[in-house]
Chain A
Amino acid sequence: MTPALELRAVGMTFGGLKALSAFDLSLQAGELVGLIGPNGAGKTTAFNAVTGVYAPTEGEVLVGGERVNGLRPYQICVRGVARTFQNIRLFRELSALDNVRVACHAGAKSGFFDALFLTPHHRAEERRILGRADEYLAVMGLSHRRDELSRNLPYGEQRRLEIARALATGPRVLCLDEPAAGMNASEKVELMALIRSIRDRFGIAVLVIEHDMRLVMGVSERVVVLDHGVTIAHGTPEEVRRDPRVIEAYLGDAYLEERQIELPPGSSVSPTRGASFPATITAAAPSPNRAAATRLRFE
């Protein structure tokens, strides 16, 4: 089945800085994938490459099997990719309803003539958009804020409005950039449930950038970890959580156990995954406060 979104060896180089390299990702419809990594890892850059803010300097981005490299953001949006922003970018002087209504009209180019002459076609379209917009507001629990200026909304509701707006474009892939930033614990739990229900209801693929581990692990089926623009781990939340490289990237190597291994004389080791070799491990008992992960250092 054609993935809703596919990134093949995507790279972004800004002048001398390689923000993203050889990034692979594949999302099927209905999948919920988390994208994590320390600050500056390249997560938002990946989003920007997907949504057309930047054109990838290497690799390909495919939406529904169609190559979208170099297309303008609005064209990519029309092909089914919607996003929210790390720093909320609502249309501040517009009401919540209007914010969503703008997105409802995604892709429509002209219609200026219809607008100016109030043709029945135009008026029918406006009614449709109004209905849809109200629906999306209801889904995100914002109906009571319908006519409120978006800049007057409380922070948590602004974040939800951004999601409602992105949903209104009718995407097949929804990219959420730190949707829970600034929320308290209970709001985050609510958001988790909301994201899952959105996925279930609309059958879209969701890609979430987040820092909150619990949120990501609780919501995602798969997790991809970036560090310095490179994928250092991917898999289920469980696998990723225990991956020593991930721990090192986030926490530094102070949280890793170091154990010494003695290799029998004459044996050789090749550093491939899954390789096994005879060894005896001699070490002190692990201290209870440390992460239960082991890194082997070869000297």
Chain B
Amino acid sequence: MTELLQHLVNGLSLGTIYALIALGYTMVYGVLKLINFAHGDVYMAGGFAGYYVAGAIGAGDRPSVLKAVVVTLGAMILSGLLGLAIERAAYRPLRASPRLTALITAIGVSFLLEYGFQLQPIAWLGVPFPPGPSPRFFPDLLELGPPFELAGVSVSKIDVIGFAVAILLMLGLQFIVYRTRLGKAMRAVSFDPRVAGLMGIPVDRVIAWTFFLGSALAAAAAIISASRMPRIDPLFGLMPGLKAFVAAVLGGIGSVPGAMAGGLLLGLTEEYVAGYTVSSFRDAIAFTVLILVLLVRPQGLFGRTTVEKV
């Protein structure tokens, strides 16, 4: 029983990270009908951004709540800006091109980030950027002490805080998407960008905001993840990125509640399957889920089927 609950706890922690990343995928797909392959690497960059900010303000040496907040917000903003830059430079020029072209470009940007970050640090920068291929260790942002023990289940404090932060962010996003004009504009663009533009919606700006928000959420996910597992390296976004994409598809790509549900569901599935069967198949689980979803119910849990007009 405790094992079951432990997996539940772990699955939820994992799931919230997937959910936060998946939101970025789903929002971008919603407005651009593009799978942003580079999103996992924006997550990675967010983690490193937090690392650098933490280094700059000395959050590792003398942690405090304020510094933790600064690190998190700093990472989110920097990541958001990165997302904006990518959209502007790589995706916007290809708006009218076939989807395949944009997809390949996204893959190119992804590689650029992964391998760019693996280059050796530039000497005269002062900051060790790019971080190089060796892993770095993310500092403890808060002095938290030992984990809670509830009914034999170990729940680390960072899991609790991470979960809370994630839920807060997701609620925040829900609010933005469903209660603000920006959100309404985002939803309009996701239905039909051309018509939305004709209705006076500043499509470019809306898309830019979408990228900003998605990337910021990914950075938050990275901070939470790095606080749980401090070892970060330029490729640490690859797998979570792909899995989060699976989560987005599972929930119904283009659907915001879908991404959240898909993320949690995938996290739990991965935990339970890996826990009770062969754990080295962990990564393949996500892909198996993906294939099953696409074969059985391609629109995912919350997605809508699109019918092509002949």
Interface residues of A (CB under 8 A from B): 14, 44, 48, 53, 85
Contact = CB atoms under 8 A, between A and B. Distances in A.
A48 B307 contact: no
A48 B307 CA distance: 13
Main secondary structure of the interface of A (DSSP, over half): mixed
Contacts of B307: 14
Contacts of B96: none
Interface in B287-307: 307
B144 interface: no
Contacts of A53: 310
Contacts of A44: 310
Main secondary structure of the interface of B (DSSP, over half): loop
Interface residues of B, number: 2
A3 to B, nearest CB: 24
B15 to A, nearest CB: 32
A48 B309 CA distance: 10
5 contacts: A14-B307, A44-B310, A48-B310, A53-B310, A85-B310
A44 B307 CA distance: 15
B44 to A, nearest CB: 39
A14 B307 CA distance: 10
A63 B141 CA distance: 72
B101 to A, nearest CB: 16
A48 B308 CA distance: 12
A53 B308 CA distance: 10
A14 B308 CA distance: 13
A44 B310 CA distance: 8
Contacts of B310: 44, 48, 53, 85
B100 to A, nearest CB: 15
A85 B307 CA distance: 17
Contacts of A48: 310
B80 to A, nearest CB: 38
A205 to B, nearest CB: 21
B306 to A, nearest CB: 12
Nearest to B305: A15
Contacts of A85: 310
Interface in B251-310: 307, 310
Nearest to A14: B307
A14 B310 CA distance: 14
Interface string B87-120: 0000000000000000000000000000000000
Closest 5 CB pairs of A and B: A53-B310, A48-B310, A85-B310, A14-B307, A44-B310
Contacts of A14: 307
A14 to B, nearest CB: 7
A254 B310 CA distance: 34
B32 to A, nearest CB: 24
B167 to A, nearest CB: 34
A271 to B, nearest CB: 38
Nearest to A51: B310
